Amino acid sequence: MNRKIAIISILVGIGLFLTSIVFSGGYDPERGFMGSLRWIQVVLVEGKFVKADFATQSYWEGRIAFPLKYALTVSIAIILSGFGYLFLSKETLSEN
């Protein structure tokens, strides 16, 4: 049973990783993936971009987004904890 939980944890981490990459935006091909990681965001709700005057800053209105680096950090932590749980479990493969 512990091995099944570990495998499910690894698959959830991989699924979160792939899903967050699919729903991300802001990639700059000139910088590459690692250079763009600071600006890439996972957009949950697309909002309206309000272009401001000269004196004020432009902003997004009604947009729900978070940086991709946080989603990748959580997914990598889930994957590594799943592997740790898998390697430290006392069960063998023949104990189904």
Region 41-69: what's the mean pLDDT?
Answer: 84
In the chain, the percentage of residues whose pLDDT exceeds 90 is 28
Closest CA to 17 of 71, 64, 81, 77: 71
Terminal-to-terminal C-alpha distance of the chain:
8
Q: Please report the pLDDT score of residue 74 as a whole number.
A: 95
Contact 91, 3 (CB under 8 A): yes
For the chain, give every domain's residue range.
Answer: 2-88
Region 11-37: what's the mean pLDDT?
Answer: 86
Residue 10, pLDDT > 80, answer yes
Region 29-37: what's the mean pLDDT?
Answer: 82
